Structure 1
Amino acid sequence: MKLISWIIHSLNPALTSDSKRAVMSRQVIHTIVEYT
């Protein structure tokens, strides 16, 4: 459970900011969603 919590807390800032890394992370997630 701690691992899942850590992953969620790590992803939140990465996905909600406007940094280049956050934008790339969102693009990867959108690509994964398209293939599932």
Structure 2
Amino acid sequence: MAWILVARAMTSPLPIAWVTIDALYDQDWCYRCMLAQC
């Protein structure tokens, strides 16, 4: 679910400066890499 929310946010015209994540998503390296590439 978080992947979908971030993907929608990144395709929106709104400026996004940062994203917060909890401990569960912090351990997901693929998710962290996706955020780093955005």
TM-score, structure 1 as length reference = 0.34
Larger radius of gyration: 1
If each structure's helix is expressed as a fraction of its own residues, which one has the higher value?
1
